[in-house]
Amino acid sequence: MSTEVRVAVIPPCDFCRMAIVPKTVPAVVDGKTTLGPWANMCEPHYSQYGTGLGTGLGQKLIKS
């Protein structure tokens, strides 16, 4: 499995979207979080909650 995936549309960061004051920030990774579930994450949230890239961990999102 690759550490990158090509997508037609970059989704928004799930953490930013669900904040008290929601923001639309592009995600850079779709991956497992330290909280358990998977999420689309922007760079700051991936740094805070991401568990890595690779099989069972996550993939970097690349717009095709």
| Neighbouring C-alpha atoms within 13 Å toward the C-beta of 6 | 1
Q: How far apart are CA 64 and CA 49, in angstroms?
A: 26
Q: What is the pLDDT of residue 50?
A: 98
Distance from C-alpha of 58 to C-alpha of 35, rounded to nearest angstrom: 14
pTM: 0.91
* pLDDT digits 0-9 by tens, 8-56: 999 999 999 999 999 999 999 999 999 999 999 999 999 999 999 999 9
Confidence bin at 1 (pLDDT 50/70/90)? low
